[in-house]
């Protein structure tokens, strides 16, 4: 049986997300929109293109790694772009996940220990930079927590250590008796 809709019934319209604009079309929360100044997209893309065009290096050559790390931070400073794990990986010619795997010691692709130390120091420098930015209110705390958890291995974790109150070690007979009580 079909329903009859009266002419006075109005359909609910799907509009913009709640809070994006008021009835007059003015933004309600301008502090929450993404602020991109004219030319910033170009600046960010040009920075990444510089990193992308860097020649590949042998990560087992400590001098090449040292020079690449210095070049990376120099390019970030020249372009006035914050260093990040993703752009550091781009400068090395690898993925962010590969870099994280190297830093967590799960893969031994980097055979030269001096190269690995240099990479870890650069990675720790980025970590320190994130902390400075968060401590000084330059990164939104939620974004900072996200960055640290996803790039630096930080976790929300609580460890509990349980210890017995008595020093008496139960005998095998006591354990068997307790097990029988549970099954009865």
Residues 32-56 pLDDT 10s: 556 777 888 899 999 999 999 999 9
The predicted pLDDT at position 31 comes to 59
Between 143 and 18, name the one with better pLDDT. 143
Q: Is residue 174 part of a domain?
A: no
Predicted TM-score of the model (pTM): 0.65
Q: Is residue 1 part of a domain?
A: no
Q: How many domains does the chain have?
A: 1
Residue 47 · residue 75 · CB < 8 Å:
yes
Residues 124-143 pLDDT 10s: 999 999 999 988 989 888 88
Q: Is residue 14 part of a domain?
A: no
* Average pLDDT for 89-101: 91
Residue 117 sits in which domain range? 39-100+108-152
* Average pLDDT for 15-44: 68
Tell me how far apart the alpha carbons of residues 129 and 83 are, in angstroms, rounded to a whole number. Answer: 8
* Average pLDDT for 148-158: 82
Q: Is residue 5 part of a domain?
A: no
Tell me how far apart the alpha carbons of residues 19 and 147 are, in angstroms, rounded to a whole number. Answer: 27
The answer to whether residue 5 scores a pLDDT higher than 50 is: no
Closest residue by Cα to residue 43 from 79, 71, 87, 75: 79
């Amino acid at each position: 049986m079909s329903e009859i809709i009266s002419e006075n019934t109005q359909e609910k319209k799907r509009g913009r997300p709640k809070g994006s604009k008021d009835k007059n079309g003015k933004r309600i929360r301008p502090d929450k929109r993404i602020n991109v100044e004219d030319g910033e997209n170009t600046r960010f893309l040009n920075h990444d293109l510089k990193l992308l065009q860097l020649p590949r290096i042998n990560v087992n050559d400590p001098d090449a790694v040292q020079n690449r790390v210095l070049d990376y931070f120099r390019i970030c400073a020249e372009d006035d772009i914050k260093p990040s794990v993703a752009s550091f990986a781009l400068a090395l010619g690898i993925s962010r996940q590969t870099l994280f795997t190297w830093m967590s010691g799960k893969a031994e692709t980097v055979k030269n220990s001096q190269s690995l130390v240099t990479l870890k120091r650069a990675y720790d420098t980025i970590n320190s930079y994130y902390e400075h930015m968060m401590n000084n209110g330059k990164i939104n705390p939620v974004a900072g927590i996200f960055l640290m958890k996803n790039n630096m291995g930080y976790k929300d974790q609580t460890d509990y250590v349980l210890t017995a109150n008595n020093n008496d070690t139960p005998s095998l007979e006591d354990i068997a008796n307790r097990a029988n009580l549970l099954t009865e």
